[in-house]
Structure 1
Amino acid sequence: MATLPVTPPIGADLTVCDREPIHIPGAIQPHGLLLVADPATLTVIAGAGALEERLAPDWLGRTLSDLLAQDISALLANTMVGLGSTLTAQPLTTATEQFEVALHRGGDRLLVELEPAERDAPWGRGSVLPWLDAAATTFERAGDLQSLCERAAVAFRALTGFDRVMVYRFLDDDAGRVVAEDAAPDTGTFLHHHFPASDIPRQARALYIRNRTRAIPAIDYTPAPLRPIGFEATDLSDVGLRSVSPIHLRYLHNMGVGASASISIVKDGLLWGLIACHNAAPRRLSPATRSAAAMLASGLARQIRAKEEADTYRERLRLRAAEDSLLPRIATSGSLRKAVDALSNELCQMFRSDGFALVQGPAVACHGIHPGSFDIQELARWVRARGTSDLFATHELAQHVPEAADYSDRASGLLALPLVDDGAVLLWFRAEQVEEVEWAGNPHKAVDLKPGEILSPRASFESWVETVRGRARHWTLEEIEAAHRLRRALHDIHQTQRLRTLNTELQRTLADKDALLQQKDVLMKEVDHRVQNSLQLVSAFLSLQSKAANDPTVRAHLSEAQARLSAVALVHRRLYRDDQIQTVDLARYLEELVGDMKASLGADWAQLIRLDLAPVLMPTDRAINLGLVTTELLINATKYAYGGAAGPIAISLEQHRNRLRLIVADDGRGKTGDGAGFGSRMMTAMMSRLSGTIDHVDNQPGLRVIVTAPIEDRPS
C-alpha cells in the first residue's frame, strides 16, 4: 500500500500553507474507513483504509445497502444529504468490531465514513443531554467572559479526557491567544501565549466553520490513500477522517503533542475561536463525543455572545450617560471654547482618553497628556487635509503620521472629530501602552527554510516575549458611535446657537423698525395736520369767494372746486386714522366721500343716492385719483341729469380679478355737453394716470358712466 509523505516537497515557497488544498488530501487517517459511492446506484466505486481486513474483501462494486446491512436508499429517501450536511445511519457490527456510520455529500459522490464505536462515553451509559445541561448551567453562571472561558476549558477537558484543553481566541490581526486553559499536572502551559496568524492558514479557518470538530487520534500515522487510482481529487471537506496536512502534523510534533482535537467556536457565522485539545499519548475522540462537543461549543458561543452583548450594552449606557451630562452644559456654555475649558476632564473620561485638545483657528486648548501645541496644530491640519469630514480613529498613529513617532509616549492613539460648522477639530489622545506579548515561539520565525531544506513549521514553542511599542488601547465601536453622535449633537447645538443669535438680531431689527414706524407715524400725523389746516383754509377761501360772487357761473365753479378739495381732504383724514398708510379700502373711502357730498347737497339728494360698493384694497395714491373721478361724476350727475332737480343716482363698485369697475348711473336726460369742460379734462388726466378707461353708455333712461382701471400700477 502506498503512503503519503509527512513533509512537503523540497523547494516549496513560504506561502504553501495558505495555498495547500487540505480539503482534497487524497487519503484518510487509518483508524477509520471511507467508502465512495455513486449516489444514483449506491454502488461503491472507491474507498480508503483497511477495507478488505475490517469490512469485506470484495467491497468494491457492491452496494452500500449490502455492505452496511441496512436500506440506505430508504434512509436517503427520507432525509436529503446536501453539501455540508451529515446523515447518521445505523451502526455496523462486523465479526471483530462495531462502526459508527455517517454519510456526506462530496461533489457528485456519496461519502460514507466508518469509525470504531466508543465503548465508554464520558457521560456514562445514559443520555448525554443531562451532562450537557449541567455544563451549560455552569456557563450561564459565569460572571464575565474570562470566567466563562475558564469554565469552558474545564468542561471540555472533562468531556474529551485530553491532557490539556485551551480556549483559543482569534484577535483582530488573525493572530490567536490562549485565554483559558485546563491541564493535567506536570503538563506545560500555553496560557496567555500568542500564536501568529500563519499557524492557522486561511483555508483551514474556512473548514473550521464548515466542520465544527476535528480529531487527530495519533500524529505519527501513515495516511490511507483513496483507491483505486483516479479518485485522489475527491472533495473530503465534510469527512472527519480526512488526512491532515503534513505541515500541521510536523507542527504538532514540534509541540510535543501525540494526539490533537479541535472544536470550533462559531459566533454569528464567524470563527470566534477554538477549543484546542492536546494529549501526550495517542487518544481517539469518537463521533458521539465529537457531536456532544459541537453541541457544547454552540452553547458556549451563545453565552459568549450574551456576555459580549452585555459588555457592549453597559458601555453604551455609560457613553449615553456621559452625553446626557455633557451636552446640556455645552449648549448653555455660549461657545465651544468655553465648554472645552469647563468640561475637558469630563470629555477625557467619556472616551477614556489620556488627553484632549481643541484646535480652533490658531488657538489650541489642551488638557491632560498630549503632544506640544505645534504638533497638535499639525495633526489638526493633517485631519482637515484628509479631504473628508468623517471622524478618524487609530491606535497606531505613527502608521498614518510618521512624525507622531516622536511623541508616541503621549499620543499613540488618536480620535479626531472635525467640525464642519466652525472649522474646529476635537482631538482625543491615548498614550502609548507598552505591551509585552508572550508568544509560543518566535512569531517572526514561523517558517524556517534554508537552502536545500524542505519547508517545515517552526521547531520551538518555548515562551518568547516581544515588547510592542507605538500602540495604544483600541477605540471601541461603541466609542466611535458615541463620537459620531457627539458630532451631530455639536452641529445641532451650533445651529441652535446661530438661530438664537439670528433671532436676537431680528428682534433688535424689528424693535428698530417699530421705533422708525412710530417716528414716521408722528411725522405723518404732523404732515396731515398741516395739510388739513391748509385744505380747510383753502376751502374757507373758496366758500367765501363763492358767497361773494355775483355771477352764478362763477359761484358754481367755486362750489365744484370746493367739492373736489373735500375729496382730497377726506383721504388725508383716513390716513390720519389708519395704521396702514400704503393701502386703503376703496369702498370705505368712497362711502365716506359720498357721505360728505350728501351733506353738502342736501336732504333731497341724500335720500336718492344709493351705494353698492364691494371692498377693494388698493394703493392710496390710486384711491385719491378714483375719489376725484367719483366726485366729478357725482357733481356732473347732480348738475345735468335732472336739470338741477333731485333725482336717483346709483354708484356701484366691483372687482374682477386684478381690475375694478366703478359705475355711476342716473335716470335723467342722458349725455349732455361735448366733454370739453374743465371737469372732463380733469377726468381724462386722472384716467391716464390710472391706466384706465371711461365709457358713457345709455342707461335707458339716463346715463351710465363706467370707469375701468387696474387695481395696482402696471409694471413699467
Structure 2
Amino acid sequence: MSEPIHQAPSLDLDDCAREPIHIPGSVQPHGVLFVLATERLEILQVSGNTGFLIGREPADLVGTGFLQLVQADARDAVERLVRDAATTYVNPFLVPVAMGDEVKFFDGIVHILDTGETVVELERDPHSPRDVESTEGLDNYLQIVHRSLGELSGVCNARDIAAVMAREVKSFTGFDRVMIYRFAPDFHGEVIAEAKEPEMEPYLDLHYPASDIPPQARALYLRNPVRLLQDVHAVPVRLVPDTRGPLDMSRAVLRSMSPIHVQYLKNMGVDASLSISLVVDGKLWGLIACHHRTARFVSYAVRATASLYAIVLSAQLKAEQASLENLRMSSARRMALDLITGLKDYSDPVGSLGVTLPALRELFKADGAAVLSSQGIRAEGSAPDDLELISLRQQLDRYRNDGIVITHEASTLFPSLAGSVPHAAGLVAIHLGEHAWLVLFRDEAIQRIKWAGDPAAAKSRDASGALSPRSSFAAWQETVRGQSLPWPDSTALLTTEVRSGILELVRKRNILLERSNQDLRRFAGIIAHEVKNQLQSGIMALSLLESRSEAKDPAVAQLAGLASTSLTNLAKFTNDMLEFSETEMNSTIEDIDFASMAREVVEELEMSGRTEGAKIQILSLPRIRGPKSQMQHLLSNLLRNALTHARSESKHLCIEIGARADEPNGTVIYVRDDGRGIPADKRDKIFDYFFSDRANKTVGTGIGLAFCAQVIQRLGHRIWVESEPQIGSTFFFSVSPSDG
C-alpha cells in the first residue's frame, strides 16, 4: 500500500477573516472522501489516501463505480443506504470494503451537494481496527441525554445548565477538557463552564477575542454543528483530480481544518478537538469545545449523540432564556402601561413626561432621564448638564428616522458626552415627534475582563510574513472604561412599545385638539361674518356724518373720522379672521404647480393696486404637495406682509420669490425683500397670533404670519425668517416635493 498523497499547509493569508475554510481542497487522513455522480454512483473525485486505506490508487478509481469497492453480497444494501442517506440522513451506516481476501468496515456518511453530486465519506478509527461486531449506535448513548435532562430539572440559569453540559459531554466523549463557550453580542467569547482533568490549567471565566472564531467559521458552525479534528499533526490529503474546481465541504465530516486554527490548537498544547454548536433561535449562541492532549478519534455515533445533546440543551437554554425574558417583559409592560395611562390626564403628553421621569428610570433600570423638546429641558437623576443636553438634542436629530437609539457606549455616537463620564456612559433615546426626545442614561460600569492572552496579539505575522495565531494564553486582564452595562435584549421591544403608546396619546390629543380648533374656526367664521355685515352700515353712516359735519362742525367731523377709522380697522381684522377660518377648512393634499400659483397671487395683488412702488420677481419654482387653498393664502400673506411692512420711503421695494434645495429640510421656498428689515428682538414673536409692532406705523391684525406658521407646522415642516435692518428680510418655509 502506498503512503497518502499530501501537501503541507501554508499560512500565507492576507486576512484570516477572508480565509475560504469551506473549500480547503483536502481532508483529514483517517477517512476517504468520494464525490459521485448521483444517478450512476460513478466516482468523479476522491481523496488521495485511498491506496493507504483501501488498497486502490486514486487514479484507478476515478471513472469507476463506487459500489465495485463494496463486498459483493452487501452492494444492494449499501446502494440503498447511500441513496436513502443522501435524502433522509440515516447516517452512519456500515460499509464493508473488499480488499482482496480481506474486508474492512467503515462508517459511511453521505450528503448531497447543492450542485447535485453525492458525497460519500468512509471513516474509521485509525487506532482501533473496526469490525462488524464493534458497530456503535445512538441507542448506546441516549440514556446519557435522558440522565442529563433529569439533572436539569430545577436548574434555572445558563451557567448551571452549561456546567451540566460540560460534565456530561466530557463523560461520554472522553476528552481531557470540555468548555462551554458563550458568544457576546460583539462575538467575542467567554468560557462559562468547564470540566477538565485535575492537572490542567483552568480556563473558566476567560474571554477570547472575536477573531479567534472569525465570521466564516461561525457561519460553518451553523451549517455543520459538529466538527472533529482527530490529530493536529496529521497531514491533510488533497483531492484527486484537483481540476474540477473548489469542492464545497461545508457539510463534510472529514474537511481539513484551517492551518491557522490548527496552529492555534498546537500553541494551546491541544492535539485533538471536537466542537459542537449551541444554536438558540437560529443564531449561534455558543459552542461546546472539547480538547485532548493526544490524538483522539470519536465515532460518528458519539458525535451525533453530542449533536443531539446540544440540540436538547439548546432548547433548554432557549426555554430558560424565554422564561426570564417573558417574566421581565411582563413586569415592564405592566409598569409601562400604568405610566402611559397616567399621561392621559394631561393635555400635553410629551410636555408632561417630566413628572414621570422617576418611573421611567425604574422601568428601564436607568440612572438618569431627561425630556428634550422645543419647550425646554427637564432632567432627573444622573444626567448631563443642560448645555450638554442641548448639544445632545441637536445630535439626536440625525437619528429621527430611526426613532430609537440604544447604546452602552454613548460617547462613541455622541462625542459631546465624553465629558459627562462617569455619567451618561450608556444611552437610550426615544424620538417623540418634531424635535422631542425622551432619553435614559446609565452610569459607567468599570469592567475588568480576563482574556486568554492579550487580545491585541490574537493574530500576528511570523518572520516570513505568514499569518499565525498567538502563542500565549496566559490570563491577561483588561480594564474597560467609558461604557455602561449593556442594555437588556428586551430594551428594543420595550422602547418601541413606550414610544408607540406615547405617540398614540399625542395623536389622539391632536385629533381632539384639531376637532376643537375646527369648531372654534367655524364659530369664529360665523361671528366674523355677522360682525362684518353689521360694521358696513356703521362705517357708511360715520363717513356720511364726517363729510356733512366737516364745514358746519369740525369737532364732530373729527370724532366721526376717528370712529370711522377704528371701525374700518375692525372690519379689516374681521375680514382676516373670516379668510383664516374659511381657508383652514380646506386641507386636502394635492399636487401644486407653485410657479403658476405664484403668478396668480401676484396678478391679484397687482389688480388690487397693492404692488404700486414695488417690483415682484418670480424665479424658478418647483411642483409641491400640500393643501392648495392654504398654500395660496400663505404666499399671499407673505407677499402682503412685505408690501405692507417692508416698504421704505427712501427706495423702491424689490421682492423675490424663489426656491432652493436645503438639506436636511428638503425643498425650501422663500420670499425675499430688500426693505426695512425686522429688529432682532421682534423676529421670534412675529409668528405669534395678534402680535403687532407698535413702533411700525403700518400696524396689521397679527393674524397673517401666525396663519402661515400654522399651515407649515401642521404639514410637518418649518418656517423661519432671516433679516437685517435696512437690508431686508427673507421668509423661508420647507415643503414636500411633488411625487411627479
Same fold, judged at TM 0.5 (above) = yes
Residue 481 of structure 2 is aligned to residue 469 of structure 1: yes
Q: Distance in 2 between matches of 1:228 and 1:333?
A: 78
Alignment CA distance shift 1:454-1:230 (3 Å): same
121, 134, 153: which is aligned to 1:113? 121
Residue 39 of structure 1 aligns with which residue?
A: 38
Matches within 5 A, 1:16-95: 17-48=16-47, 50-57=49-56, 60-61=60-61, 63-69=65-71, 70-71=74-75, 75-76=79-80, 79=83, 87-92=91-96, 95=102
Report the alpha carbon displacement of residue 503 of structure 1 after superposing the two structures with TM: 8.2
- Within 2, Cα distance between the matches of 1:379 and 1:229? 60
Aligned to 2:175: 162
Unaligned runs of 5+ in 2: 528-740
Report deviation, 1:87.
4.6
Contact 1:6 1:247 in 2 (8 A): no
Letter in 2 for 1:104: H
Range with greater deviation from structure 2 (431-440 or 60-69):
60-69
Name the structure 1 match of 2:109.
102
C-alpha separation between the residues in 2 aligned to 1:489 and 1:43? 65
Q: Which residue of 2 aligns with 1:322?
A: 335
Q: Does 1:429 align with 2:469?
A: no
Q: Tell me the distance in 2 between the aligned counterparts of 1:439 and 1:259.
A: 23
Which residue matches 2:8? 5
CA distance in structure 2 between the partners assigned to 1:389 and 1:273 by the alignment: 30
1:415 offset after TM fit, Å? Answer: 1.5
Match of 1:446 in 2: 458
| Conserved 8 A contact 1:260-1:278 | yes
Distance 2:392 2:202 in 1: 45
1:83 Cα deviation from its structure 2 partner: 8.7
Q: In structure 1, what is the Cα distance between the partners aligned to 2:402 and 2:212?
A: 40
Measured in 2, the distance between the counterparts of 1:35 and 1:159 equals: 30
Aligned counterparts of 2:402 and 2:310: Cα–Cα separation in 1: 44
Q: Would the aligned equivalents of 1:85 and 1:105 in 2 still touch at CA under 8 Å?
A: no
- Aligned counterpart, 1:606: none
The 1-side partners of 2:411 and 2:81 are apart by 62
Aligned-pair CA distance for 1:331: 2.2
Residues 256 and 280 of structure 1 are in contact (CA less than 8 Å); yes or no, is this contact kept in structure 2?
yes
Residue type of the alignment partner of 1:113: E
Tell me: CA distance 1:246–1:514, structure 2 relative to 1, closer, same or farther (3 Å): closer
Counterpart CA distance in 2 for 1:316 and 1:44 is 57
Contact 2:96 2:103 in 1 (8 A): no
TM-score (norm 2): 0.62
Provide the secondary structure at the position in 2 that maps to 1:226: strand
Name the CA distance, whole Å, in 2 between partners of 1:192 and 1:101: 39
How far does residue 182 in structure 1 lie from its aligned partner after superposition?
A: 1.6
Report the CA distance shift for 1:137/1:112 in structure 2 as closer, same or farther (over 3 A): same
Q: 1:54 to 1:394 in 2, by over 3 A?
A: closer
**In the alignment, residue 494 of structure 2 is paired with which amino acid?**
A
Q: 2:546 matched to which residue of 1? A: none
Tell me the CA shift for residue 76 of structure 1: 4.4
Counting only pairs closer than 5 Å after superposition, residues 430-579 of structure 1 correspond to structure 2 as: 430-449=442-461, 452-497=464-509
What is the aligned partner in structure 2 of residue 209 from structure 1?
222
CA change 1:333–1:188 in 2 (3 A) is same
Q: Matches of 1:345 and 1:80 in 2, distance apart?
A: 64
Pick closer, same or farther for the CA change 1:83–1:49 going to 2, 3 Å.
farther
Aligned-partner Cα distance in 1 for 2:85–2:160: 39
Give the letter aligned to residue 33 of structure 2: L
Separation in structure 2 between the aligned mates of residue 412 and residue 375 of structure 1, nearest angstrom: 13
**For each residue in 1:544-587, what CA deviation from the matched residue of structure 2 results, as whole angstroms up to 9, or x when unmatched?**
xxxxxxxxxxxxxxxxxxxxxxxxxxxxxxxxxxxxxxxxxxxx
Structure 1, unmatched stretches of 5+, are 516-716
Instruction: Tell whether the 8 Å contact from 1:136 to 1:296 is kept in structure 2 after alignment.
Output: no
Shift of 1:258: 1.5
Match of 2:250 in 1: 237
Q: 1:72 to 1:373 in 2, by over 3 A?
A: farther
1:151-190 equivalences under 5 Å are 151-190=164-203
Following superposition of structure 1 onto structure 2, how do residues 257-406 of structure 1 map, counting pairs within 5 Å?
257-333=270-346, 335-336=348-349, 339-361=352-374, 363-384=376-397, 386-388=399-401, 390-406=403-419
Compare 440-449 and 87-96 and name the one that shifted more: 87-96
Q: Which residue of 2 aligns with 1:138?
A: 151
Aligned 8 A contact 1:149 1:180 in 2 = yes
Alpha-carbon displacement from aligned partner over 1:418-468 (angstroms, at most 9, x marks no partner) = 3227x5322111112221222111111222225534221111111112222
Cα displacement string for residues 493-521 of structure 1 (whole angstroms, at most 9, x for unaligned residues): 34555666788899999999999xxxxxx
1:8 alignment partner AA: L
Query: What is the DSSP-based 3-state SS (H/G/I as helix, E as strand, rest coil) of the residue aligned with 2:490?
Result: helix
CA contact (8 A) 1:32 1:113 kept: yes
How far off is 1:122 after superposition?
13
User: What is the Cα deviation at residue 369 of structure 1?
Assistant: 0.6
Partner Cα distance (1:29, 1:212) in 2: 18
Report the Cα distance in structure 2 between the residues aligned to 1:318 and 1:327, rounded to whole angstroms: 14
C-alpha deviation, 1:262, in angstroms: 0.4
SS at match of 2:484: coil
Q: CA distance change for structure 1 residues 202 and 358 in 2, over 3 Å: closer, same or farther?
A: closer
How far residue 307 of structure 1 moved from its aligned partner, in angstroms, is 1.7
SS for the counterpart of 1:71 is helix
The question of whether the paired residues in 1 share the 8 Å contact of 2:35 and 2:45 is answered with yes
Q: Tell me, yes or no, if the aligned pair for 1:89 and 1:103 is still in contact at 8 Å.
A: no
Which residue number in structure 2 is paired with residue 635 of structure 1? none
Cα RMSD, aligned residues only: 3.6
Distance change in 2, residues 1:460/1:82 (3 Å): same
CA apart distance, 1:27: 2.4
Query: Alignment partner for residue 254 of structure 1, among 245, 253, 267?
Result: 267
- Render the CA deviation track for 1:234-271: whole Å, top value 9, x for unaligned: 43332212222211110100111111110112233332
By how many angstroms is 1:356 displaced?
A: 0.8
Q: Any conservation in 2 of the 1:8–1:454 contact (CA below 8 Å)?
A: yes
Asked if 1 retains the 8 angstrom alpha-carbon contact of 2:280 and 2:314, the reply is yes
In 1, Cα distance between the equivalents of 2:437 and 2:44?
A: 71
Deviation digits for residues 56-99 of structure 1 (CA, Å, limit 9, x no counterpart): 34673353223122225874489456599675433427747532
**Cα deviation digits, residues 634-665 of structure 1 (max 9, x gap):** xxxxxxxxxxxxxxxxxxxxxxxxxxxxxxxx
Q: Check the 8 A contact 2:370/2:380 in 1, yes or no.
A: yes
Change (3 A) 1:72 1:23: farther
In 2, Cα distance between equivalents of 1:78 and 1:389: 52
- Structure 1 residues 316 and 222 mapped into 2: Cα distance closer, same or farther (>3 Å)? same
> Between Structure 1 and Structure 2, how many residues are aligned?
511
Indicate how the Cα distance of structure 1 residues 88 and 335 shifts in structure 2: closer, same or farther if over 3 A, else same.
Answer: same
1:185 deviates by 0.8
Q: What's the offset of the Cα at 1:333?
A: 4.9
**Is 1:101–1:113's contact at 8 Å kept on the other side of the alignment?**
yes
